[in-house]
Amino acid sequence: MGMLFKAVDPLVRFRHSLAMRWIGKLFLWLLAGIGGLVVVITLAVVTFTASMRTDKPTMPDSAVLSLNWNEVLEERYATLPSFKAVPPATLLDTVTALDRAAASPAVKALVVRLGNTSLGFARAEELAAAVRRFRASGKPAYVYADDLGGFGDGTRLTTLAAAFDDVWMAPSGTVGLTGVALETPYFADALEEVGIEAEFEQRYEFKGGADPMTRSDMSGPIRQSLTRLVDGLLDHAVASIAADRDLTQQQVRALVDGGPYLGREAVAAGLIDRLDYPDAFEAHVKALTGSDAKWIDAPFLLAATQAEPPEEGPGSSRVAVLYGVGPIGVDDQLGGPFGDPGFNSQGLIDILNDIAKHKDYAAVLFRVDSPGGAYGPSDAVWHAVGQVQAAGIPVVVSMGDVAASGGYFVSASADQIIAYPSTITGSIGVYGGKFDASQVWDQLGVNWEHVTAGQNAGMWSFNRGFDESERERFATSIDFVYEDFTSKVAQGRGFDAAKINAVARGRIWLGSQAVEVGLVDRLGGFSEAMAAIRDLLGLDAGAQLDLHVLPQPKSPIEAIAEALESGDFSLAFGTMIAEAAERRIMTRVEAVLGDIDGVMGPRGLLSAPPMHFGD
């Protein structure tokens, strides 16, 4: 069989290839545009459908409040999750729903699915306290768990479960009541092995933030501080479990040392009440509450019981709710329109300045859950809080799991500071430095040449260590930051020099300890913070507060519009997808390993040392 060959002019072939490439690109752009348009239209339809559901729902005559604590319970949302007609409840929403359910004659009982969610000790205390307030109204609270932290978080989850009347668990479950463990990595030997030297300064002996880079083991003062920390956390858990399960503290302490427990062992020990499957649990609750009771979630209850806001005036109770969550960094909004903005210091400063200028809120509730971070943004937020107070508007800080170092700095001037007994706070100190990688380059045969104008121009180079002049200037800056930090804490808390020296130097405190030394005013969570605001505003104990979360979470459509306006839609949409996947992955990883932010989060001059809790 013969083949026919046809000669083609190379120029024609090139033009044809170029044309095909352009057609291909045009086709890809067209597909991308159509895909983006489909996404926008889909989200628009979902959001429009949700927006049509603006009628206030009606509470049924008989209801059971059903909550799922298997999912991550966020402090706040920057952008509402996509494709959900009703936004999921935040921690504040959940606590508010529990308190309203306690007061509602229609709500007959509380049902919670617990497990596979990463909760710090303090937030577990918040939820347990809200459950106890619900039970104090004379209504029963039931909880079901597939597992109570058999592979981590067991002490926290067992403490939370104990707050319920009736605790059920799957027959295959384990109760991981084993106590509290804290791990801190030390990298000095590893850094030396690869030829990297850490050149850090810290103030002072209890700070410990630089130790993982400069030491191979834990120092005496740090071990003393962290031992007191874990002992305090376990003391709180033991006392709580003992009170809720009608056991003595000695009995619970013995149970801690004997854990973890198989299901039948946990029943015999009095830690749980029954082993069975979810369908049996649901049937049991329905038999007790009546088959006509409608099971409702927190968003439904909040919408159905939402009262009209009180009239504004001299006794106005409009309260701005602000969140400072996560490490405090220099850059803001790195997650894009769809991403989590993190602490977002500049966003907080803008809102605080606006509140001080317009005076359209009677008070500010500032929720802080941060291990600290960069000095400059921490100081700027501290100043903005002071501007609000100078305008005659009181500020109350509610601390979350951690409000330490820079997290305490931004809180220090508040009119009232509220913390949970197990909040980790204090760490009033500073550390910072750099790594010298010159030995690495020497081993690789790489020679860095330096050309500088100015004696200390190259002091932050990672390719060499500090010289004596640079080290002196850096130590001076660290001393300045420490003096500025401690003086502002002393000013806000009314401490003299001896007092601030006794509570600072990097010491870490639990909330229960911090209230004794004057760093915190009251123990509690959102409920106590609301009470403090009423006191400061001269309102009655039961007065309604009109809460406004600032900034309001963006809807998916608003986030898309912002992304399109900024010209980074593809990046923003990719960020949204990536963060959704990351949340699902991290939720599953932390269900097994526990909270890993403690060893992964960014660090700064005003940051608590890296810690990983296991229990």
Whole-number Å distance between alpha carbons of 391 and 388: 5
For 201, residues 6+ apart whose C-beta sits below 8 A from its C-beta are 210, 431, 432, 433, 474, 475, 478
**pLDDT value at residue 349:** 97
Query: What are the DSSP calls for 140-208, one per residue?
Result: -EEEEES-BSTTTTHHHHHHHHTTSSEEEE-TT-EE-----EEE----HHHHHHHT-EEEEEEE-TTT-
8-state DSSP, 460? T
pTM greater than 0.85: no
**pLDDT value at residue 84:** 57
310-429+480-610 has the same fold as 63-178+259-302: yes
Are the beta carbons of 441 and 166 closer than 8 angstroms? no
Angle (nearest 5°) at CA 184 between 183 and 186? 140
Q: What is the mean pLDDT of residues 448-471?
A: 90
**pLDDT value at residue 83:** 54
Q: Which of 427, 366, 429 is nearest to 400 (CA)?
A: 366
Are the beta carbons of 82 and 44 closer than 8 angstroms? no
**pLDDT value at residue 291:** 86
Instruction: pLDDT band for 341, please (50, 70, 90 cuts).
Output: confident
Q: Which of 336-345, 379-388, 449-458, 503-512 has the lowest mean pLDDT?
A: 336-345
Are the beta carbons of 462 and 557 closer than 8 angstroms? no
Instruction: pLDDT band for 586, please (50, 70, 90 cuts).
Output: very low
**pLDDT value at residue 431:** 93
Does position 9 have pLDDT exceeding 60, yes or no?
Answer: no
Does position 613 have pLDDT exceeding 80, yes or no?
Answer: no
Q: Which of 166-175, 197-206, 479-488, 562-571 has the lowest mean pLDDT?
A: 562-571
**pLDDT value at residue 26:** 47
Whole-number Å distance between alpha carbons of 140 and 419: 28
Mean pLDDT value across the chain? 84
Q: What is the mean pLDDT of residues 274-281?
A: 98
Q: Which of 153-157, 225-229, 375-379, 551-555 has the lowest mean pLDDT?
A: 551-555
Topology annotation, domain 310-429+480-610? 2-enoyl-CoA Hydratase; Chain A, domain 1 (3.90.226)
- CATH number, domain 63-178+259-302, options 3.30.460.80, 3.50.40.10, 3.40.50.150, 3.90.226.10: 3.90.226.10
Q: Which of 16-30, 125-139, 211-225, 539-553 has the lowest mean pLDDT?
A: 16-30
Instruction: pLDDT band for 600, please (50, 70, 90 cuts).
Output: very low
Q: What is the mean pLDDT of residues 243-255?
A: 97
**pLDDT value at residue 384:** 98
3-state secondary structure 419-444: ECCCCEEECCCEEEEEEECHHHHHHH
- At 46-96, the pLDDT tens digits run 445 444 445 678 999 999 999 999 877 889 887 666 555 567 899 999 999
* Tally of CA atoms within 13 A in the half-sphere of 580 that contains its CB: 12
Dmax (CA) for the chain in angstroms is 103
Whole-number Å distance between alpha carbons of 348 and 333: 12
**pLDDT value at residue 566:** 56
Q: Domain locations in the chain? A: 63-178+259-302, 310-429+480-610
Are the beta carbons of 532 and 522 closer than 8 angstroms? yes
